[in-house]
Amino acid sequence: MTDVHISLPPALRRALELLSDPPADPDVSRGYLDLLGAAGGDAVEKNTGPIQAAWASPIGSMLYDNAQALSRRVLTAFQHPAEWLSIPSGGVALDVGSGPGNVTSALAHSAGPDGLALGVDISEPMLARAARNEAGPHVGFIRADAQRLPLRDNTVDAVVSMAVLQLVPDPAAALAEMARVLRPGGRLAIMVPTAGRAARLWQLLPNIGAHAFGEDEIADILEDNGFTSVRVKNLGTFQTVRAKNG
């Protein structure tokens, strides 16, 4: 291991060991591991809609607090994902679209003193805030795209994605990536806004940067990717989906 790697924060040093293509000179200058660089990466489709642009801005990062307050109320009604995921002691948990990182740190707590929780996001303001407020010896953050997760196959024990998939240009690709990195028997928990039966009408509108999920859309994609025990629960305009990998 090089001196550069030894000098990394402990969580990010462990993260490098899980990457499919670890960088020789990792950029952690802003407190998170940046795998996209200034260009933001060019290998996958990007969300250029106005909703995503606002969400990824510094103002959007601050407004996320209001969305988080709503999400916490919704999660209270559903059950917090960490309570269902059964993360093994010393396990690895992945938060896809981690935002300010509060869910990521909760996953680290569930994984115990030898565990690791990694948050992946594409927004630099969100990641800067997460690294400042939530990073620690067992919590690290990575700038990467959900449609091409940087981890090797079968490297994590649990995956969470809270109110993010609607902003991903190709949600099916992101879900397939979650399946790829999740170990057999690992659990997944997702929450998204849903338009229910009105989803098809929403999808006919011009692209504004947010996908409207139908009632069974996510469940069908997960089953196509080998997930079992898929459970869907709706509460108002929110939907949670839970599943086991294989």
Mean residue pLDDT across the chain: 83
| pLDDT recorded at residue 63 | 44
Q: Which residues are CB-neighbours of 17 under 8 A, at least 6 positions away?
A: none
pLDDT in tens, 30-43: 999 999 987 655 55
> What is the total count of domains within the chain?
1
Q: Residue 196: its pLDDT value, please?
A: 58
pLDDT tens by residue, 117-126: 999 999 999 9
In angstroms, the CA 96 to CA 107 distance is 12
Helix (H) or strand (E) holding 80: none
- Listed range (83-87, 110-114, 240-244) with the worst mean pLDDT: 83-87
Find the CATH number of the domain harbouring 197.
3.40.50.150
With cut-offs at 50, 70 and 90, classify the pLDDT of residue 207.
low
pLDDT of residue 114: 97
Report if pTM > 0.85. no
Q: Are 118 and 180 in contact (CB under 8 A)?
A: no
Q: What φ, ψ does residue 148 adopt, rounded to 5°?
A: -150, 80
Print the domain residue range for 159: 3-245
User: Quick one: average pLDDT of 82-92?
Assistant: 90
Give the count of alpha carbons within 13 A of 194, CB side only.
22
